[in-house]
């Protein structure tokens, strides 16, 4: 009898030890080298600040009440490198979730590998259209957007402007094509789209393209040029004087990541974005002030959406009582969890893409004489992506 009692007691102790030994292992993938590392820096800044505000500072600290370890990878904005980093995270480190990911063409490769291995994917930037539609998965969630949504808002804005002619530009990869598709989905103006330029990723010399545009004399130009590409374009655009003849509208080209290097060349330009830095909601203001205090510059939306990720993960962990062994249950819980987001309260669509507002913003001179971004108005309220209905019924959450 004594032996039975000891055995039972040992079994209970083992079960208790197992329960208390729950651990979350996260991979965070970004671009921290190469010409687009500027975006990666903001992403990692926002992510680490979000972790800090959730009480996590180092491996072994708790996130959402669960002991957490984090492993970092640099995808160099190359799909093959991103895949190798994902294989290392899954194979060597046994991660439950891979977060981060800046580039759509990289994320599509990483996502497929992760899902095949029943690992969750949390995008803090990339939003390739196939992942919102036919290739959607309950293992996927985003704190950003579907690629098409921000340019859809710009398509609406430029429709209302009643331009007679427009020129379009974007880099030649998945996100660039999505941006153009989104713009044209909502551009219903009577103006003619004169031409479309698909330039190479990481292009730094836009002078020939600008010359073609000036010769064609459109009323307006719409361009998507993220990171260093946007800095190069905006400087060359201003130097050419083309802005005196052609109105400039952008997405993911001018923001608080690129505004410093671009400087006054950005004044008078317009762009759309899901994030309103002036939003008075407490989570947004806490983030903005803490980011400036910690890093010495204003945060971009890249940092803002990355900041949200740790809070979302923590809320999901609490919803599943800290159990990490069932990754699918955790990913589903994150779709339903409420947490303090920089964008205020919002819901997730059935494909893991946020349903959220989109704003028109303008670059103006601030009180100190330096360029700043001012929110002009709300273009869309609770805007759903264009692909959710293509998400198969058995993949919806």
Among 9-18, 61-70, 200-209, 253-262, the range scoring the smallest mean pLDDT is 9-18
CATH class name, domain 149-273+358-383: alpha beta
Q: In this structure, what token pair is assigned to residue 220?
A: 């307006």
Question: What does pLDDT average to over the chain?
Answer: 94
Q: What is the mean pLDDT of residues 83-109?
A: 97
pLDDT at 116 over 80: yes
Collapsing DSSP to helix, strand or coil, 251 comes out as strand
Q: Are 347 and 355 in contact (CB under 8 A)?
A: yes
User: What pLDDT score was predicted for residue 189?
Assistant: 85
pLDDT at 166 over 70: yes
- Looking at residue 277, its pLDDT comes to 94
- CA dihedral for 173, 223, 251, 355, sign (positive or negative): negative
pLDDT in the model for residue 35: 85
Q: Is it the case that residue 9 has pLDDT exceeding 70?
A: no
What single DSSP character describes residue 163? -
| 3.40.50.2300, 3.60.9.10, 3.40.50.10470, 3.40.640.10: CATH of 12-145+279-345 | 3.40.50.2300
pLDDT score at 112: 94
Residue 12 has pLDDT above 60, yes or no: no
Residue 265: pLDDT band (50, 70, 90) is: very high
Asked whether the predicted pLDDT for residue 2 surpasses 80, the reply is: no
pLDDT at site 39:
93
The C-alpha torsion from 339 through 345 and 350 to 353, rounded to 10°, is: -90
| Domains 12-145+279-345 and 149-273+358-383 fall in the same CATH topology | yes
CA 385 centroid distance within chain? 14
Percent of the residues in the chain that have a pLDDT greater than 70, as a whole number: 95
Q: What is the mean pLDDT of residues 148-168?
A: 96
The span from the CA of 13 to the CA of 186, in Å, is 61
Q: Average pLDDT in the 101-109 region?
A: 94
Report whether pLDDT(18) > 90.
no
CB 157 within 8 Å of CB 142: no
pLDDT of 382 over the 60 cut: yes
Q: Helices 149-161 and 174-186 sit at what angle, rounded to 10 degrees?
A: 40
pTM score:
0.92
Per-residue pLDDT, 36 = 87
> Is the model's pLDDT at 325 over the cut of 90?
yes
Question: What number is the average pLDDT over the span 337-344?
Answer: 97
Strand, coil or helix: 362: strand
Other CB atoms closer than 10 Å to residue 229's CB: what's the count?
Answer: 25
* Domain residue ranges in the chain: 12-145+279-345, 149-273+358-383
pLDDT in tens, 280-292: 999 999 999 999 9
Beta strands in the chain (DSSP E): 23-30, 62-63, 66-74, 97-100, 120-123, 140-142, 165-171, 192-199, 220-224, 247-251, 270-273, 347-348, 354-365, 371-383
Q: How far is CA 392 from the centre of its chain?
A: 24
Q: Provide mean pLDDT across the span 72-97.
A: 97
């Amino acid at each position: 009898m004594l032996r039975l009692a000891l055995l039972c007691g040992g079994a209970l102790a083992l079960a208790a030890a197992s329960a208390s030994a729950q651990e979350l292992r996260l991979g965070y993938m970004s671009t921290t080298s190469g010409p687009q590392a500027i975006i990666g820096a903001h992403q990692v800044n926002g992510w680490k600040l979000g972790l800090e505000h959730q009480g996590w500072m180092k491996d072994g600290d708790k996130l959402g009440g669960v002991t957490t370890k984090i492993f970092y990878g640099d995808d160099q904005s190359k799909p093959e490198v991103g895949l190798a980093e994902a294989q290392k995270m899954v194979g060597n480190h046994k991660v439950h979730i891979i977060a981060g990911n800046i580039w759509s063409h990289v994320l599509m490769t990483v996502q497929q590998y992760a899902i095949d291995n029943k690992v969750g994917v949390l995008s803090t930037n990339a939003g390739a259209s196939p992942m919102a539609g036919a290739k959607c998965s309950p293992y996927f969630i985003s704190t950003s957007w579907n690629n098409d949504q921000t340019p859809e808002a710009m398509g609406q804005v430029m429709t209302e402007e009643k331009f007679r002619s427009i020129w379009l530009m974007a880099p030649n990869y998945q996100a660039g094509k999505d941006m153009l598709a989104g713009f044209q989905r909502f551009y219903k103006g009577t103006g003619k789209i004169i031409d479309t330029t698909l330039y190479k990723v990481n292009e730094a010399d836009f002078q020939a393209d600008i010359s073609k545009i000036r010769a064609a004399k459109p009323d307006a130009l719409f361009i998507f040029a993220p990171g260093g590409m946007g800095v190069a374009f905006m400087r060359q655009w201003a130097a050419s004087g083309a802005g005196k003849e052609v109105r400039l509208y952008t997405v993911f080209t001018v923001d608080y990541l690129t505004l410093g290097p671009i400087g006054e060349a950005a004044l008078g330009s317009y762009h759309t974005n899901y994030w309103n830095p002036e939003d008075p909601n407490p989570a947004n203001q806490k983030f903005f002030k803490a980011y400036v205090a910690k890093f010495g510059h204003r945060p971009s939306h890249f940092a803002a959406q990355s900041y949200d990720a740790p809070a979302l993960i923590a809320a999901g962990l609490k919803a599943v009582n800290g159990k990490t062994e069932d990754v699918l249950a955790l990913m589903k819980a994150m779709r339903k969890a409420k947490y303090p987001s920089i964008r205020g309260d919002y819901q997730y669509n059935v494909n893991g893409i946020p349903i959220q507002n989109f704003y028109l913003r303008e670059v103006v001179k601030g009180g100190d004489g330096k360029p700043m971004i001012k929110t002009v108005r709300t273009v869309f309220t609770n805007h759903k992506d264009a692909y959710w209905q293509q998400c198969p019924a058995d993949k919806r959450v």
